[in-house]
Structure 1
Amino acid sequence: MLVVAVLFLFALAVFAIAFYLRFLDSFKAFETNGIKGPKPSFPFGNFKKTLTGKCNFVDELSEIYEEFKGTERFVRVFMTRKPQLFILDSKLSKEILVENFKHFSNNVSSKWSTAKDDVLRKCSPFVCTGNDWKSRRTEIVPVLSSTRMKGFHPKTKRICQKLCNFIDSKLRGEESVDVKALAYNFTAEFVSDFIWGIDARAFTKSAPCELIQMKDAMIQQAFKCVKAYFLSDLLPFFGNRRFFSKLSDKFFVGLLKKLLAEDSNCGRSDFLNHLEKLKVAKELSESELTGHTTTVVIDGIETAGALIAHCLLLLARNENSQEKLRQEINDTLDGEDFPTFDRLNELTYLEQCLYGLCSLLYTFVETICFQKL
């Protein structure tokens, strides 16, 4: 038994040394072509704090950006042992994301889950690649046009009035207002009406908003999936995980199925009508149609909600900017209670406030060239 134990420990040691040396060998990528970057560490690469839960991924990217901005157009980084390029220069980002996008359309996030496990997510143009990406993008773009959004503007006004009434009720009761929750309530109401033509009841106190609960379930599962993907290259048994939860998948498929089965003359939303036409014209499955709705849910509720919440936070910290924006809105309203769709486009400073936050997100996240080299 002693001999067997010794042999086992020896084999384990040899395996560990071989694994370590192979891991370090992967860090030699880019050395021959002179691409600079922060020094990686075993076994986390350049994102130790992210993978150990000490900070957000964007925070660690920000540190790398601050270290190399102004001196390098791009740097190399490692996610565990996977070499990546982190694009720092805005002009180069535009070349990659716009002018030469055809060479960079296959993104690494498409590998975070499988079509078998994540049917809805794999139907989204955000993670599709090649011809699938072109097809899915073509299907959803027409219903998100400026003309369609202008037609939805009267409903937007009604949703904004709900928001105002909710805030008034809080203030009358001398209650504090959770601005982050308020932003998500607003985007949930908007998305619910825009996609399905139904009330999300996000401003109702009697019960929690089911749509927000499903969105939260999707986001929580997504974080687990991304972390598992990073670790899978280090420890392959982590494998692929679902990006969206089974609970949210079942909810959104059931909701769409129910609404499509109803009479189309009952005030169906433009988005739902568009999906109905796609189902007939392209013979799409319910999962493929639902994939388009969850695409808008994530981008419309989570992304837009986070953007609004952070914008309000920064405005609260900068009273001069807050007053400047308030003055612009009052001047644009010119005595009216709500701006027309065309007048919204005249709110230049509001656009700058929102775009400023968007540019930060794009700088630190979207400008990463997610291409495995």
Structure 2
Amino acid sequence: MLEITVALVLVLAGLIYVFMTWNFDYWKKRNVPGPKPTIFMGNYPNMYTMKKHTVYDIDKIYHEYKKHSDAVGVYGARSPQLLVISPELARRVFVSDFKSFHDNEISLMMDEKTDFIFANNPFSLAGEKWKKRRADVTPGLTQGRIKTVYPVTNEVCLKMSAWLNKQLKANAPEGINAKDLCLRFTTEMVTDCVLGLKAESFTDNPTPIMSHTKDLFSQPFTFLLYFIIVSTFPALRALFKLRFIPLATEKFFISLMQSAIDARRSQLAAGKQFERVDFLDYILQLAEKRNLDTRGLTAHTMTFLLDGFETTAGVLSHLLLLLGRDEQVQQRLRDEITANLNSQGIVEFEKLNDLPFLDACIQECIRLFPPAFMSNKLCTETIELPNKNGSTIKVERGTTVLVPHYSFMADEEFFPNPQDFQPDRFMQPDAAKTYRERGVFMAFGDGPRICIGMRFALANIKAATVEMLTKFDVSVNPKTRKDNILEPTSFLSTLKGGIWLNFKARQ
């Protein structure tokens, strides 16, 4: 009996091994080079061990093959993927060959039944649905509308300064949690600019908006588990879909949206003209045009909210970290800001985009801590791509193509001393544009799917930076690490252990 049991176990183990590895010759059959995968983990061991961020697995492969290949074959668990190594080829994926890489991989992992809100976000939408949604949303984020709500942003900046002064009186030895500070700012600012409501993030009794915002980006272990399972069994993506936005959070934002609509319509019914033509004003016009119900309105509005909460807060907190580490750069930026303040102590909107060193600091911050460290594109139309050895790579429809933004932006070849904060890299005229056209710097993506909310995010990062550097000296609390190692468990790029800063009010 024991012998039979042992034999069955060995047979089962053999079957599992064969199943897990039978696809490992996918790229070899196509003469595409690449590192040898391991059973269960493929080429991303840190996705499972969480000892380091997965970006370091990708970066290791990138440096191993960059001299010899434009792209290499890798495996997520047992699923073949193409990792782009050449920046020029990366730009082709985003721009010139866009029709063959039209969609993001996440479009396969969700649908309206499972996650109505995120499935209707332009990031997740595919094909003509994406094209239509982007055409709907883009007019709501014009420079004119951003200018209209700029006074709201400055009001939120004043609330932030008052809150900071209050915290300084507590004199906490660990300093201020920069991510918490910046998330309070973006939650208050975006909620007011988009919905015309107050999140009260800088009070002792904030509304639930901020806690639900945190829930959006504090995904449980099951979120990672889903990616592991569908990488191992890709067919399951057709049966089981991912929910990014928790159900309770979806219900909360639908209710919040209804409150905003009711408040705005009651004002209009009372004959009161709202004082600004904001994003909600545009969404309500769109609702009439598209005959949207509250749920549909919320899906459209969450495009503004999702793009404005976490990623903007992340860039702002890392910018404060880098300025806090370098007193000379901080003062140089403060001098530029001070020279452009008006009599009310703010930089007028028209001048906000005419501060070259502020732009350079933000671009360099994003280079060091890109919110999206890579892009997972989906091949939507079979194409042949060139490789360095003179051969071509046939990328078949349905293949996942990875573009490792972090590896390009942390490469010594393109950015000498890549871990150093050197804003002067971006002080040459059109430096960011030049780097982007070379494929080595994609702060907000590139091509037709470039980030819709880019200008809105930059305006608010700049306004917050102006406020804080005008009124405070920023330094790094000893609790914060001195290197740029990324948090292993975060799917956005963020400093391991968090960012803790000291603020000192300026006289």
Same fold (TM over 0.5): yes
Q: 2:134 aligns with which of 134, 137, 161?
A: 137
Counterpart of 1:181 in structure 2 is 180
Q: 1:161 to 1:100 in 2, by over 3 A?
A: same
Deviations 1:161-200 (A, max 9, x none): 1111111222244343221211111111111011111111
Counterpart of 1:212 in structure 2 is 210
Counterpart of 1:258 in structure 2 is 259
Q: CA deviation at 1:360?
A: 4.9
Q: 1:307 aligns with which of 308, 315, 335?
A: 315
Structure 1 residues 1-373: aligned runs within 5 Å: 2=1, 6=4, 10=7, 13-69=10-66, 71-175=68-172, 176-204=175-203, 206-221=204-219, 224-234=222-232, 239-262=240-263, 263-265=266-268, 267=274, 270-333=278-341, 337-360=345-368, 365-371=373-379, 372-373=398-399
Return 65-74 or 145-154, whichever deviates more.
Answer: 65-74
Look up the equivalent residue of 2:322 and give its one-letter code: L
CA contact under 8 A between 1:46 and 1:77: conserved in structure 2?
yes
Deviations 1:96-133 (A, max 9, x none): 21232222122211122332110111111110000110
Cα distance in structure 1, aligned partners of 2:327 and 2:293: 51
Look up the equivalent residue of 2:219 and give its one-letter code: Q
Look up the equivalent residue of 2:186 and give its one-letter code: T
CA contact under 8 A between 1:38 and 1:76: conserved in structure 2?
yes
Q: 1:9 to 1:148 in 2, by over 3 A?
A: farther
Look up the equivalent residue of 1:177 and give its one-letter code: I
Q: CA deviation at 1:223?
A: 6.4
Counterpart of 2:433 in structure 1 is none
**Higher share of residues assigned strand:** 2
Q: CA deviation at 1:92?
A: 2.4
Q: CA deviation at 1:336?
A: 5.4
Return 105-114 or 51-60, whichever deviates more.
Answer: 51-60
Q: 1:234 to 1:286 in 2, by over 3 A?
A: same
Matched residue SS, 2:81 = strand
CA contact under 8 A between 2:199 and 2:206: conserved in structure 1?
no
Q: 1:316 to 1:107 in 2, by over 3 A?
A: same
Cα distance in structure 2, aligned partners of 1:369 and 1:75: 15
Return 351-360 or 187-196, whichever deviates more.
Answer: 351-360
Percent identical pairs in the alignment equals 28
Q: 1:325 to 1:209 in 2, by over 3 A?
A: farther
The two structures have a TM-score, normalised by structure 1, of 0.89
CA contact under 8 A between 1:86 and 1:369: conserved in structure 2?
no
Q: CA deviation at 1:309?
A: 0.8
Deviations 1:29-72 (A, max 9, x none): 22244433333211111111122332323343333334444554
Q: 1:45 to 1:234 in 2, by over 3 A?
A: same
CA contact under 8 A between 1:74 and 1:86: conserved in structure 2?
yes
CA contact under 8 A between 1:36 and 1:75: conserved in structure 2?
yes
Cα distance in structure 1, aligned partners of 2:332 and 2:200: 33
Q: CA deviation at 1:361?
A: 5.8
CA contact under 8 A between 2:145 and 2:277: conserved in structure 1?
no
Q: CA deviation at 1:19?
A: 3.1
Matched residue SS, 1:84 = strand
**Higher share of residues assigned helix:** 1
Q: CA deviation at 1:335?
A: 6.2
Q: CA deviation at 1:244?
A: 1.2
The two structures have a TM-score, normalised by structure 2, of 0.67
Structure 2 residue runs of 5 or longer lacking an equivalent are 380-397, 400-507
CA contact under 8 A between 1:112 and 1:229: conserved in structure 2?
no
Matched residue SS, 2:72 = strand
Matched residue SS, 2:43 = coil
Q: CA deviation at 1:337?
A: 0.6
Matched residue SS, 2:138 = helix
